[in-house]
Amino acid sequence: MKKLILLAVFALASVQSWAADTIKVGLLVEMTGTFADFGLQITNGAKAYMKQHGDTVAGKKIELIIKDTTGPAPDVAKRLAQELVVKDKVDFLAGFGLTPNALAVAPIATEAKIPTIIMNAATSVITAKSPYIVRTSFTLAQVTEPMAQWAYRNGVRKVFTVVADYGPGHDAEDTFKKAFTKMGGQVVGELRVPLTNPEFGPFVQRVKDGKPEAVFVFVPAGEMAVGFMKAYNERGLAKAGIKLLSTGDVTEDGVIEALGDNALGVISTHQYSAAHVSPENKAFLAAYSQIDPKTRPNFMAVGAYDGMAAIYEVVRQLKGNIDGDKAMQVLKGMKLLSPRGPIQIDPETRDIVQNVYVREVKKVNGKLYNVEFETINAVKDPGK
Ligand code: VNL
């Protein structure tokens, strides 16, 4: 009975938004706590797109409704998503810095038939949890496989892996091991660190004691990346000859200056660097700095910018009349020219297909950047 009432409310919600002259996008993001930088990057990226392209599409005003999930808090994310659907009658759900929040909202997307754009969360399974989910960010498997292959091709044979102990970390760990051992490499140790408040010192010491040639790391962007880098330096791993290989989350543009010169030479694989040279990236950086001149945009801002581009295209093609199923038809197979390069939504999996770049941390005009030096074109999520 409760479910029937809920369905009736959802049906009413979609009828009302049909007639309204505003398209509402509910952004569920981490605006406070340890992961507050994610919410800032995602909202800035979305606003940058709107600044650059105006806030009216097909005669309808695009409105962002921003809600704070406060961190990895699936119950909060779920309640806020329900409110956005039932009370605010949003046409789209979007945002999601963190995997647990995206997973919690998948059943609501399905039940209410709300197209839901994952702008960051990067565990492979997320898009399989609802036919109304698409992803404009990346998956850990997608960026990790090229790292394992690059390492082997460049002579690395013994690697220790360190990952955050939750969905994306498990994907990174599995993918690295599979790809690296398939080529003939060896994973000599695996560690999982807690997602909140990890004390990296003892973990990093165990890596050092394992005497690998390199350590492969995924921890979420932001404070955790800074914490890992600090322990890596303090425990003298570089001096012991243990190379640092990571996904771009660790050396992301938002924190790279805070990592300091110790980060010079770190090799990573990822989909976006602020140093990417293209007219699209130049325009993006200019739009972003109009929204927030004090921060450098990272991959999350780009995921949000492209997510808004996808939403604008849906509104345009459906002439402002948003229907969940029709919206999904437009999203499947959509191609966009992103600040990171060409991207496409795989029509089968609704996940992103994109270039993955191998980069090295270098100084460019006195500032630290991930300088791309190799491109692997049109990579699909190998986790599917
Ligand atoms: C996730 C993936 C979070 C990659 C991250 O930090 C990240 C996630 C914000 O899926 O939870 O860098």
Per-residue pLDDT reduced to its tens digit, 57-95: 999 999 999 999 999 999 999 999 999 999 999 999 999
Q: What is the DSSP string of 329-364?
A: HHHTT-EEEETTEEEEE-TTT--EEEEEEEEEEEEE
Share of the chain above pLDDT 70, in %: 95
CB of 119 within 8 A of CB of 147? no
Residue of 28, 35, 40, 99 to test ligand 1 pocket, by largest number of atoms within 8 Å of CB = 99
Q: Which fold has domain 140-270+357-379?
A: Rossmann fold (3.40.50)
Nearest-CA residue for ligand 1 atom 4 is 220
Residue of 120, 224, 268 to test ligand 1 pocket, by largest number of atoms within 8 Å of CB = 120
Q: Looking at the chain, which residues constitute the CATH 3.40.50.2300 domain(s)?
A: 2-138+277-350, 140-270+357-379
Q: Which atom of ligand 1 is nearest to the CA of 100?
A: 11
Q: Which atom of ligand 1 is nearest to the CA of 98?
A: 11
Q: What is the mean pLDDT of residues 191-219?
A: 95
CATH number for the domain whose boundaries are 2-138+277-350 = 3.40.50.2300
Average pLDDT, whole number, for the chain? 95
CB of 159 within 8 A of CB of 180? yes
Residue of 29, 41, 98, 101 to test ligand 1 pocket, by largest number of atoms within 8 Å of CB = 98
Query: What pLDDT is stored for residue 17 in this prediction?
Result: 46
What's the 223 CA to ligand 1 centre distance in angstroms? 12
User: Tokens representing 286?
Assistant: 């200019």
pTM confidence score: 0.94
Query: What pLDDT is stored for residue 193 in this prediction?
Result: 96
Residue 309 has pLDDT above 80, yes or no: yes
Pocket of ligand 1 (CB under 6 A): 38, 97-99, 120-123, 168, 220-221, 249
